Amino acid sequence: MSAPLLSAAQATALTAIAARRAELSEGCATIFGYGETAWREYRSAGWYVAKLRAEGFTVEEGSGGMPTAFCAEWSNGDGPIIGMYAEYDGIPGNCQAPATRRAPRAGLGFQAGGHTDPHSGLGMAGLGGLLATKAAMERHGIKGGLRFTGEPAEKVRGSKPVHAAKGYYDGLAAILSFHPFYMLPMCNTVRWDTHCGAGWSMIYRFLCDTPERWGATHGGGDGAPIPQAHSVVRAPGANDALTLMFQASKSLRESMLPHQGGWSVSEAILTAGQATADNQPAGLAEIQYMIRVPTIGMAETVTAALDRNAAAAAAMTGCRWERHWVSKSRPGLANHAIAGVVWEAMQAMGAPVWDEAACAVAREIQSNLGLAPMDDPFIPEMSRLIAPEAAEAILRHDLPPSQTHSTSDDYTDMCWHAPTARFYVARPALRAPAGFAYPAWVMNALGGIPATIDPMVERAAQILALSAMRLLEDDGAREAAMAEFHQRTGGGAGGSRWTPPQCDYDPPIHFRWPEYVTTPRGHDWWIPATMPGA
């Protein structure tokens, strides 16, 4: 099948991306270097806000009540509005320099934040596609507008359910959603029918704020006229509640749902301890759970089981418990019409290409790991397109016919407010000799080294821009996507088959999320860098 012909405006957009190649590379390296994590992406969000304002966008900072979110808008007159976005959060414990050896970024330890997916490249591709679309609209007098949201805390499914519930995706003609990927079948393709499922996340907080009631309630006391605080029975406290919750939920996990549907539950301990003496029970402990399930009903079932476990753990330890929502995202909604538009753009551009400079970086990593450098060090899937229908067939091979969604992500909340295409462009990944597995730092480093990550950023920006221009110029393509959206939702927002936002909570910004701190010692992670020789 021959690649579709480009319009003059699409050609202008590609020229604009080429002109910004060095600028996008520098921006990607900057965000990678910040390595900020969920709900604490202050410098990253500030960088985007300043950049967008300098490019003529009107920017709302702190959109949806989230300090590190934003919403930028630009208009070239009345017409359809296209939505794109940036993500920029990393993950704690993944601090890696853009280097060919394992090393933290300067002045930090390995426990600091770092980009794994990498969202640094995701956001910069979004920005490149956005600015190229704007340039083409201006030059060719194309009416319409652009909306670009800053989406913090994606790794905990944080901002998009909030933005959706507060109307930030309403009124859009289309939304274009890109993510880096390297594994089949979702490498250099567009999602077709099987979109991501629901992602629910919550924090269970245990508080032992009336420990004196433990002994009285349970017949405690030593019978002496003056209670002896060091020998009287004491409330176990919040740490014990957390460990009971942790173990009970692990043990009972198989009973939360039937053994089908591709669901998972994971946890992370946020805050523990708080005791300052050996005769004081811990007053506060928090554990976060993340539920990945195909349906909202399954998420509700698992949540009910976790609630029971929390109540039991609290009752046994002299605590009270609270549940605070981090995310309640909806399953995704397919739209073949807009997926087809993006697939045509992907065919026009082809897969990313990694040149000899990128290969040299890859070979140096292999050599530093004691491997024989390969002539062709990257996995072949990176350089191939796979048709959406073919990718769908591979994805469905191991899924039961009744399962309509798989794994989770929060782009899915956008799908219920406008026709949305979810597409994937290959990120760099290395071939492995038989029996060898690369350590995680290798992927992280490849996402920060310009020679290896820039090809992905540029190609994704091009696909975004071509798709946006097609939707702006081709009334038929845009109308087909909207007609399908109305058909699948039973009439759009509020329709008979529409799923409303599940977000009924305030943004969870006040918890002790891992973050960078400034002390008299300088800029550091909240877990200080390991001392030399330790």
- Contact (CB, 8 A) for 169 and 176: no
Q: Spell out the residues 6+ positions from residue 74 whose beta carbon is closer than 8 angstroms to its own.
A: 55, 56, 57, 58, 134, 145, 146
pLDDT at 533: 44
CA 434 – CA 359 distance, rounded (Å): 20
140-144 contacts at long range (C-beta below 8 A, 24 or more positions apart): 140/8, 140/9, 140/12, 141/76, 142/9, 142/76, 142/79, 142/469, 142/472, 142/473, 143/76, 143/77, 143/78, 143/79, 144/75, 144/76, 144/77, 144/78, 144/79, 144/80, 144/81, 144/82, 144/173, 144/472
Instruction: Copy the structure tokens of residue 208.
Output: 């032992």
Tokens representing 213 are 């009631």
Which architecture characterizes domain 8-193+334-489 according to CATH?
3-Layer(aba) Sandwich (3.40)
Separation in Å, CA 69 to CA 144, 376, 408, 499: 24, 40, 21, 24
Looking at residue 534, its pLDDT comes to: 39
CB 240 within 8 A of CB 312: no
pTM for the predicted model, two decimal places? 0.93
All residues at 6 or more sequence positions from 361 whose CB lies less than 8 Å from its CB, including other chains: 100, 446, 449, 451, 452
pLDDT score recorded for residue 230: 58
Query: How do the residues of the chain divide into helix, strand and coil, expressed in percent and rounded to 5?
Result: 40, 20, 40
How many Å apart are CA 394 and CA 400, to the nearest integer?
13
pLDDT at site 275: 58
Give the model's pLDDT for residue 274.
59
DSSP conformation letters of 280-294: S-B-EEEEEEEEEES
Q: Which of these, 96, 73, 98, 68, lies nearest to 84 by C-alpha position?
A: 73
Taking only Cα atoms into account, the Rg of the chain, rounded to an integer number of angstroms, comes to 25
Name the residue ranges covered by the structural domains of the chain: 8-193+334-489, 200-221+231-330
- DSSP 8-state symbol, 91: B
Q: How far apart are CA 118 and CA 91, in angstroms?
A: 10
* The architecture CATH gives domain 200-221+231-330: 2-Layer Sandwich (3.30)
Residue in the structure block whose two tokens are 């811990």? 282
Q: Which residues, listed in sequence order, are joined to residue 248 by a DSSP beta bridge? A: none
Q: Could you read off the pLDDT tens digit of each residue along the chain, which spans 534 residues? A: 455 689 999 999 999 999 999 999 999 999 999 999 999 999 999 999 999 999 999 999 999 999 999 999 999 999 999 999 999 999 999 999 999 999 999 989 999 999 999 999 999 999 999 999 999 999 999 999 999 999 999 999 999 999 999 999 999 999 999 999 988 899 999 999 999 999 999 999 999 988 888 766 545 555 555 555 555 667 888 989 999 999 999 888 888 887 767 788 888 888 665 555 666 788 899 999 999 999 999 999 999 999 999 999 999 999 999 999 999 999 999 999 999 999 999 999 999 999 999 999 999 999 999 999 999 999 999 999 999 999 999 999 989 898 999 988 899 999 999 999 999 999 999 999 999 999 999 999 999 999 999 999 999 999 999 999 999 999 999 999 999 999 999 998 899 999 999 999 999 999 999 999 988 878 899 888 765 543
Q: Is 166 exposed, middle or buried (0-12, 13-18, 19+ CB in 10 A)?
A: middle
Q: Which amino acid is at 88?
A: Y
Asked if 44 and 119 count as a contact pair (C-beta separation under 8 A), the reply is: no
At position 69, the amino acid (one-letter code) is A
Whether the bond into 92 is cis, omega within 30 of 0: no
One-letter-per-residue 3-state SS of 125-190: HHHHHHHHHHHHHHHHCCCCEEEEEEECCHHHCCHHHHHHHCCCCCCCCEEEEEEEECCCCCCCEE
- C-alpha span between 300 and 316 (Å, rounded): 25
Asked if 88 contacts 159 with a C-beta cutoff of 8 angstroms, the reply is: no
The CA-based angle 158-117-384, given to 5 degrees, is: 130
DSSP string computed for 256-320? HS-S-S--EEEEEEEE-----STTS-B-EEEEEEEEEESSHHHHHHHHHHHHHHHHHHHHHHT-E
In one-letter notation, the amino acid at residue 402 is S
Q: State how far the Cα of 310 lies from the Cα of 205, in Å rounded to an integer.
A: 9
Q: What is the side-by-side order of every strand in the sheet holding 145-151?
A: 58-61, 70-75, 145-151, 81-87, 174-181, 420-426, 189-190
Joined tokens for residue 426: 């290959």
**Which stretch of DSSP H or E encloses residue 345?**
helix 336-349
